[in-house]
Amino acid sequence: MEFEFPMLSLSELVKVKGGKRLPKGSSLQKDKNSHPYIRVRDMGERYIPDTGLEYVPNGIFPKIQRYIVEENDVLVSIVGTIGLVSVIDTRFHLASQTENCAKLSGLDAVDALYLYYFLSSPFGQQEIMQATVGAVQAKLPLYNIEKIPVNWPNRIIRESIVASLGSLDEKIELNCETNETLEKIAQVIFKSWFVDFEPTRAKIKAKQDWANNSDTAKAFKSTHATIGAGTGGNDDDAQSLFMERAAMAAISSTTTTSNSEGLKTLDELPEATLQQLKTTAAFFPDALVDAEFGEVPEGWGIETLEDVIELAYGKALKKDDRTEGDFPVYGSGGLTGTHNESLVDGPGIIVGRKGTVGALYWEDKSFFPIDTVFYVKCKNRVSLAYVYYLLKTLGLETMNTDAAVPGLNRNNAYRLEIPKTPANLKDLFTTTVNTLRNRISNNVKQTESLVTIRDSLLPKLLSGELPINDAA
């Protein structure tokens, strides 16, 4: 049975107000303060994300402070990419909004989310497009926003719709947050091992502590027989074990060697984990040597990026020539649609060549990179995972070689010098990080499934086609 919900115009539900352009000659700053400035590019998710924001300088804010948003305001983009919708939560209470957004205010938390879901639905998007004017520069006028009709069932139904869709969105957001955390962990491991060389530095520090008979060394000497050196005194075996355990602590990220508690923490780990830490620590020497780009562990050497990868050109694929299908299409700005054919078997790495220089994307599926990007081919047994995190550390985004159209010259990238790390250590890193990447991949698949369910439920719930009880 399909229900017909009452229709109300937005002017009957909310107060509509535009945003404010920054004063002429002023600009935003990346340094964080208490005045975030919400732009169209920040919108589109249920809540504004924390990443990528810019801020109004303290000296400029008084000139635009009348154009702030409050908790439970709903923002709609009205210029550029029209029809993006987001809800303001407590994090952005009293933030400023661009003139390219309109705020809809006067709602509580439930009705703000209900309006978000309605305006994001096919019904709401159709009404927004019909209210848009202008052939050259399209715009959604405030007076047309006020006329947009909204399905407005009774409060109980609105609450139930928000609860049903919100539970799916919360699972989606949790998966995204989990993946961000897993991604950060992988980056931290790479930086620790292959950029900062923390296990080697830990060994160097332990050697100095041993020579200086520091409190940490004293504590170890008094207990090392129970830990496993078994030789007593200040012999070389005991010192080697002290240095090894310092590196193991750095690798495990459980603690530092600045106090004896750190050494005890290792003893609480499972034997299999300890053995893996010992194996990894053995690849890190106890000295650093100078290289042209800084210090590297002794014995590792130097190679160039060209020794480990090829940056292959993507292929032109105009939008008119694409057939929607199962394979993601990547440009330098990221995912740009789908096609029924792939060019590269997944997983793969995409690197921005023209436009968004040096942008990096990982794709698990087979995909089609267009001619504004490179895709990566690995050499000499180097894994895709190792290369991906290596590229993140090289600053490719700063290597623009064309003032007119930003571009990345691959020959310049090839000349970048990198540490020549032991192959077996690369393999250990790959094994460790692939575990994280598999979890990320599984979360992405689950998220895609949840999005499909949410997007299929959304119009049915808002139209009354699907009774609330059937959506539970």
The residue among 293, 300, 284 whose CA lies nearest residue 204 is: 284
Phi (first) and psi of residue 200, to 5 degrees: -65, -45
pLDDT score recorded for residue 255:
35
Query: If you search the block for the tokens 């060549």, which residue do you land on?
Result: 353
pLDDT score recorded for residue 80:
87
- Distance between CA atoms of residues 401 and 409, nearest Å: 7
pLDDT score recorded for residue 470:
53
For the stretch 420-458, what's the b/e string if a residue is b when 16 or more beta carbons lie within 10 angstroms of its beta carbon? Answer: bbbeebbebbbebbeebbeebbebeeebeebeeebeebb
Torsion of CA 60, 64, 65, 69, to 10 degrees: -120
Residues 6 or more apart from 299 whose CB is under 8 A from it?
285
For residue 66, count other CB atoms closer than 10 A to its CB. Answer: 9
Strand duo 74-77 + 54-55: pairing: unpaired
Query: If you search the block for the tokens 């609105």, which residue do you land on?
Result: 158
pLDDT score recorded for residue 258:
38
Phi (first) and psi of residue 166, to 5 degrees: -65, -35
Strand duo 302-304 + 348-352: pairing: unpaired
Strand duo 149-151 + 288-291: pairing: unpaired
Query: If you search the block for the tokens 């609860």, which residue do you land on?
Result: 163
- Distance between CA atoms of residues 313 and 436, nearest Å: 29
- Distance between CA atoms of residues 229 and 226, nearest Å: 8
pLDDT score recorded for residue 469:
61
pLDDT score recorded for residue 329:
97
Token reading at 445: 């698949």
- Distance between CA atoms of residues 195 and 395, nearest Å: 13
Cα–Cα–Cα angle for 54, 48, 92, nearest 5°? 70
CA 384 distance to own-chain centroid: 18
- Distance between CA atoms of residues 122 and 126, nearest Å: 6
The residue among 197, 195, 241, 244 whose CA lies nearest residue 221 is: 241
Token reading at 142: 């405030």
- Distance between CA atoms of residues 175 and 182, nearest Å: 10
Domains recognised in the chain with CATH numbers = 7-152 (3.90.220.20), 198-283 (no CATH), 302-419 (3.90.220.20)
Rg (CA), the chain: 28
Phi (first) and psi of residue 367, to 5 degrees: -150, 175
Q: What stretches of 138-259 show up as alpha helix (H) in DSSP?
A: 142-145, 155-190, 198-212, 215-227, 236-252
* pLDDT profile of the chain (472 residues), mean per 10: 76 92 88 90 90 89 87 94 94 87 95 96 94 88 95 93 95 94 93 95 93 84 58 66 91 51 65 89 95 89 96 95 95 93 96 93 96 96 96 93 80 95 94 93 95 92 75 50
